[in-house]
Amino acid sequence: MKPKLLIVDDDEEIRTQMKWALAADYDVALAEDRPSALEMFRTTQPSVVLLDLGLPPHPGNPEEGLATLSALMALDRLVKVIIISGQGEKQNALRAIGASAYDFFTKPVEMDELKFLLKRCFQMVQLEKEYAAMQQLVHTDSFEGMLGTSAPMRPIFEAIRKVATTDAPVLILGESGTGKEMAARAIHQKSNRKNGPFIAINCSAIPETLLESELFGHEKGSFTGAHMQRKGRIETANDGTLFLDEIGEIPLPLQVKLLRFLQEQTIERVGGRQEIPINARVVAATNADLKKVMAAGTFREDLFYRLAVVSLTLPPLRERENDVRLLAQFFLNRFAAQVNKTNLAFDPDAIRALNKHAWPGNVRELENCIRRAVIMADGRRVTARDLELEPSGLGANVVTLKDAREAVERQMVQQALKKHGGKIAPAAVELGLSRPTLYELMDKLGIVRS
């Protein structure tokens, strides 16, 4: 459908000429005075109006035209009204702009200039409508903190609703930064355990020597430094949900103990002999291919099937259609409020840059990008420069999906290492990997260890 345009002018010849010039691009409606203009506006609901200031019953002064402008703005604050009048005195132009007119032309109008302005005007209308729709969406209750309207996300939300009503273990798969912990929290919040604790632990962030104590707790004197009894994360999650992130990093001996807990719902603290019953729902997550890890002999097959009673695979951001704009607006609202930059909005060039970027770091990368842009933005607009998005870095020789993935991985690893001065531990944390996994990835990509 063509965009709708209303032309209001008391001169029938001018109305006819303008309709003839613009009808190829727009659905044009005509009116000759204030009453007919308001009636036609209510009927056709145009997004843009071309308005003559000199209207009957007093075509010799601008008052009737200005009154029409005010009435149109009262009906729709988003309408764009372009004044076209023979009364081109500066004070009339200032009064019209002050009354929220979009622009001002004097007769005779240069048609090419008018067509160019109309094109930009309708683009602005579309952006404002999308912005208003997104504002409404991000201010309503999201799916337990998860946002998305794209086709790949709808089955994820539906699966979360179904699995949340059970106590079945869930395995969440997906690339780093896709929101696996948020999905786990959504499962918890929609379950009958929502009033219980949600205990999250990143299995790759804790040294192997401490992980058993962290998970299962320990008794006083069970090892050097154990000066008091301490409950582990599993015990703390009693009557709630235990989220095990990067489950693939758990060493084999601990996998045996975790499997026993899943089978019997009891644990023993390190150094203890008492069996402690635990009523906790387990949700695990990983960005690794566990089937490959099982084939390599570093992950137990029986544990995998215990954890993966239900599996959810979160799609990467690049496959989520228009969700980039929605999520960007959500993050913009949040971070702008934190730094008291009210009414901050994206420039069209920023929106184009957001849509064009590949987002190898997924939602986490987008969130950090918007946080930085809000800090750097001057005035009321976030520009493409504020986003500081670098080119994807994919060269002309990239011809397969494997090549593209490795190019993105190489770029992200090199950036993280550069940021942290070549230090592996903080770079691994930023990338959401364990140190051994980062070393393996560097070797695979041919990145020399410094």
Mean pLDDT by 10 residues, the chain (450 residues): 92 92 94 94 94 88 90 90 76 79 84 88 77 55 71 90 92 93 93 94 86 88 77 94 93 93 92 91 92 90 94 93 86 88 84 89 92 89 87 45 71 82 79 77 72
3-class DSSP assignment, residue 175: coil
Determine whether 177 is exposed, middle or buried from the number of CB atoms within 10 Å of its CB (0-12, 13-18, 19+): buried
Q: For residue 397, what pLDDT is reported?
A: 41
For residue 241, give every residue at least 6 positions away whose Cβ sits within 8 Å of its Cβ, in sequence order, or none.
184, 187, 188, 191, 193, 196, 197, 198, 199, 280, 281, 282, 283
Determine whether 261 is exposed, middle or buried from the number of CB atoms within 10 Å of its CB (0-12, 13-18, 19+): buried
Q: For residue 143, what pLDDT is reported?
A: 64
DSSP H helices, 51-176, are 63-75, 90-98, 111-138, 154-164
Q: How far apart are CA 281 and CA 265, in angstroms?
A: 10
Q: State the fold for domain 318-387.
A: Helicase, Ruva Protein; domain 3 (1.10.8)
DSSP 146: B
Rounded to 10 degrees, the C-alpha dihedral 173/177/180/183 comes to -130
> Hey, what CATH class is 154-313 in?
alpha beta
In what helix (H) or strand (E) does residue 235 lie, and over which residues does it extend?
helix 233-236
Amino acid identity for residue 133 in this structure: A
Among the listed residues 31, 39, 7, 42, the one whose alpha carbon sits nearest the alpha carbon of residue 21: 7
Which numeric CATH code is attached to 401-445? 1.10.10
Give the CA distances from residue 270 to residues 217, 237, 244, 248, 280, in Å, rounded to whole numbers and listed in that order.
Answer: 6, 17, 19, 22, 19
Token pair recorded at residue 405: 């993935």
Q: For residue 236, what pLDDT is reported?
A: 95
In what helix (H) or strand (E) does residue 389 lie, and over which residues does it extend?
none
Q: How far apart are CA 317 and CA 289, in angstroms?
A: 19
CATH superfamily of 4-138: Response regulator (3.40.50.2300)
Q: Do 4-138 and 154-313 come out as alike in CATH topology? A: yes
User: Where exactly are the structural domains of the chain?
Assistant: 4-138, 154-313, 318-387, 401-445
Q: For residue 398, what pLDDT is reported?
A: 40
Among the listed residues 426, 141, 151, 168, the one whose alpha carbon sits nearest the alpha carbon of residue 315: 151
Amino acid identity for residue 411 in this structure: Q
3-class DSSP assignment, residue 438: helix
3-class DSSP assignment, residue 243: strand
Evaluate if pTM is beyond 0.75.
Answer: no
Q: How far apart are CA 88 and CA 375, in angstroms?
A: 42
Token pair recorded at residue 391: 């080119």
Among the listed residues 2, 8, 5, 7, the one whose alpha carbon sits nearest the alpha carbon of residue 34: 8
Q: For residue 395, what pLDDT is reported?
A: 39
